[in-house]
Amino acid sequence: MRDLPTGPALLALARDVLLNQLMPLLPPKAHLEARLVAKSMAIAEREAILGTAPAPGILHELEELYREGDEDKQVLLHRFARDLRVGAFEQGEPRERDAREILWRLTIAKLRNANPRFLKANGFS
């Protein structure tokens, strides 16, 4: 049980103070750094809400792909990367499509954290 406001709420407020109250007082040469600070706070806020690990659903899909439920999730992700390197999914259409779907979902989930604006600019909600 933590006191309120929550960490993400404090980050959002602090970011607002930085951009709207402090930024006008800073010399122009410090604006870029201030924006980078604000960007970092926004990422930290989103990660505090959404978590830093790939979405559990995606990891479950990996388990489905390999039909293995007891392997460590990170180990599975490493194995997936190694298999993609050697073209392990190129032999059959369903598995190749499944692998590609996981790549998409993984990437979109990461960008929701890191840069949702970029995601939107590319036509993804």
- Determine, following the binding rule CB under 8 A, whether residue 124 of this chain makes contact with another protein: yes
Helical (H) or strand (E) element with 75: helix 73-85
Binding span for another protein by CB under 8 A among 3-11, 18-26, 63-71, 112-120: 112-120
* Binds another protein by CB under 8 A, chosen from 12, 22, 49, 108: 108
Binding-site string for another protein from residue 30 to residue 49, where x marks contact by CB under 8 A and - marks none: --xx--xx-xx--x------
Least CB distance from residue 84 to another protein, whole Å?
Answer: 4
- AA identity, residue 56: P
55: left (phi over 0), alpha (psi -120 to 50) or beta: beta
Least CB distance from residue 48 to another protein, whole Å?
Answer: 16
